Structure 1
Amino acid sequence: MAVWDKNLLWSFMFLLAGAVGVTVIYPFTSTCAVRGSTVTLPCTFTPLKSFSDGQREVPLKIVRVRWCKNHEICQGSTPSVYDSNSANINSRYQYLGDMKTNCTLQIRDVQQGDNATFRFRMEADHPQGHFTNKTGVTVTVVDSTKMRIIRSSDDKKFSRGETVTLLCASVCTFHQLEVTWLKDGHALSENGSSLRLSPQTAEDSGNYTCALKNMKTLSEPYSLQAEAGAGGNLPLIAGVLFVVLLAVIALVLFIIKRKLRAAEGQRAAGGETELKVSY
């Protein structure tokens, strides 16, 4: 085999091995986002470390990362929602990754225009290291979502002292949304898609609503009403114990008083006998 043919073969093999080694992984390829919320698109990548130019192995270094919307290759003059080489980027799109392995993108204040497919592209200091994963992540934006509150049990009554967890639900997954909670119209300090009330007291009775942070969209009120449970009998038990304690104290005082009277009677009888003897 000629030297030129051997070099061509080795170059092809290195190129094939390099292409196989390059990866961009999206944990999920589709997600749902409520307009005005924040959605995070997790992403990891493995760049090509080097390539062969037919004579030697040339190391590669990632010099640029990009995220594009509705473009399969995301190259050249394609508009980017994020470009590490550009300072003119919409602040709603925040790159949470780096130039090594993490390519996570976060979209804040989701708008209807974000109803699209987002793709990540890495670019090296040589074209051999450029790569775009064409699969991407498709974001479905839901407008004016009707939110509601659910709990594991359909019973809206609870016994005092038990633990109750309320979940803010929608047609979208709320695991990464900024959710706030209100009780009887007043904001609670707790945040997140779930609200845990433990242990329950009578003060926890009321109407609960959840809302997306910095948004006016509210869920329908969810009413929780306390009913007497094991904890509800505490006042009765305390009252019974108090009555029993009073009875015991009264009995002890009665016995002591009776013994004192008996002792006084004995002393009186002894004094009268001594008086008769003296005469």
Structure 2
Amino acid sequence: MAVCAGKTVWSFMFLLAGAVGQTVIYPFTSTCAVRGSTVTLPCSFTPLKSFNEGGREVPLKIVRVRWCQNHELCQGTTPSVYDSKSTKKDSNYQYLGDMKTNCTLQIRDVQERDEGTFRFRMEVNYTAGHFTNRTGVTVRVNDGTKMRIISSSEDKKFRGNETVTLLCTSLCTFHQLEVTWFKDGHALSETGPSLHLSPLTAEDSGNYTCALKASNKTLSELHSLQVEVEEKKGEQKGQDKNLPLVVGVVFGVLLAVITLILFLFIIKRRLAAAAEDQRAVGGETEQKYPDNIYSSIQEENLQQETSHAVEDDSYATIQFNHSQQKHRHVEKAEDAVIYSSLAS
């Protein structure tokens, strides 16, 4: 009996010390989430470091952490949405904490089944050191709520180089959102709940909207943003200083173009002159052929005349010989007559 009574008193003292030394803190005890969104439940805890046993301090160590839904103590065989000792993990529930002080839980793709109260429990290497904060965090699921854009400035018109931040939110409290930002109906690359624009330029002017990445039904109303960029005097002076350089470049380009045109014109003229020379050489060649023909004809006529002359000479020679023979006969006849006369 004394032993049992001693254990009972010791357990009571340990629980009292635990109640005083152990803490689980939820920054808020209720939140609202739009269906299809991601909600984060911040949480921090302080475990009991040790306990006094027989005059000596025995250190304690965290061996298990759990999150349960709609259970006050979250102990024993109670179903858990997260259990550090379980090998089965639900991808919709991600533990962002550790085994020391952080116990934050994130719920992704929130659905109606996630509506309820979530509680955190820590367990140490001594049964009496387990602790659950029964307050918990209550999550309400809202379906079809449209998002809205809140600007860091009430102004609708901005000047260049200024800064503005647009926040995509709704009536529910969100701690982490995956949203899609649109500008003039075109999706932007940013996916966080806040859109930071700095420094503003004329290209940032337009109509902005946002919606939860998992549901386009939550598309917000238009938020207009107008940026007016004034031209600075210093920039104008700089442009005036650059004017001679621009003029010089333009003049150089024009000079190069004119030089190229003249060069092409000269080449074209030379090619045309060469073509005319070729045609002239071809004409002279054609004219040479009649001269050759004429020379050939003259040579033939000369040969014919020469042959005629030779024939005439031959004929004259024959005639001359014939005359000589005839003359000789006459002489012989005359000599015969003279001889006859003498004889008589």
Q: TM-score, normalised by structure 1?
A: 0.72
The answer on whether the counterparts of 1:33 and 1:141 sit within 8 Å (CA) in structure 2 is: yes
Higher helix share: 2
Which residue pairs with 1:96 in the alignment? 96
Alpha-carbon distance in 2 for matches of 1:54, 1:8: 15
**How many Å apart are 1:124 and its aligned residue?**
2.5
Structure index of larger Rg: 2
Cα distance change of structure 1 residues 218 and 77 upon mapping to structure 2, 3 Å threshold: same
Q: Is the contact made by 1:10 and 1:54 (CA closer than 8 Å) also made in structure 2?
A: no
User: Where does residue 207 of structure 2 map in the other structure?
Assistant: 207
Superposition deviation, residue 131 in structure 1: 1.2
Q: Is the 8 A contact 1:42 1:105 kept in 2?
A: yes
Whole-angstrom CA distance in 1 between matches of 2:159 and 2:44: 47
Over residues 223-272 of structure 1, what are the superposed CA-to-partner deviations in whole Å (9 max), with x where a residue is unaligned?
22344xxx33459x839x849x99xxxxxxxxxxxxxxxxxxxxxxxxxx
Matched, 1:66 2:66: yes
Structure with the larger RCO, 1 or 2 (CA within 8 Å, 6+ apart): 1
Q: CA deviation at 1:130?
A: 1.4
Residues 103-252 of structure 1 mapped to structure 2, 5 A cutoff: 103-216=103-216, 217-227=218-228, 231-234=229-232, 238=236, 242=240
Superposition RMSD in Å: 3.3
Q: 1:123 to 1:218 in 2, by over 3 A?
A: same
SS of equivalent residue, structure 2 residue 64: strand
SS class of match (1:85) = coil
Aligned counterparts of 2:3 and 2:35: Cα–Cα separation in 1: 61
More strand by share: 1
TM-superposed CA distance for 1:151, in Å, is 2.1
Secondary structure (helix, strand or coil) at the match of 1:19 reads: helix
Structure 1: gaps (5+ residues): 247-279
Q: Structure 2 CA distance, aligned partners of 1:8 and 1:87? A: 36
Structure 1 distance, partners of 2:219, 2:211, is 5
- Given that 1:19 and 1:48 are in contact with CA atoms closer than 8 Å, whether structure 2 keeps it comes out as no
**1:157 and 1:133 mapped to 2: Cα distance?**
49
Q: State TM-score, norm by structure 2.
A: 0.60
Q: Distance in 1 between matches of 2:5 and 2:199?
A: 77
Change (3 A) 1:224 1:72: same
* Cα contact 1:18–1:51 (8 A) shared by 2: no
CA contact (8 A) 1:7 1:54 kept: no
Alpha-carbon deviation of 1:200? 2.7
Q: Could you tell me whether the CA contact under 8 Å between 1:183 and 1:206 is conserved in 2?
A: yes
CA distance in 2, matches of 1:42, 1:142: 20
Q: CA deviation at 1:175?
A: 4.3
* Aligned residue in 2 for 1:275: none
Structure 1 residue 82: Cα displacement: 0.8
Q: Give the number of aligned pairs.
A: 241
For the Cα contact (< 8 Å) 1:67–1:118, is it kept in 2? Answer: yes
| Contact 1:168/1:174, CA 8 A, preserved across alignment | no
Preserved CA contact (<8 Å) 2:32 2:139: yes
Q: How far off its partner does 1:13 sit? A: 3.5
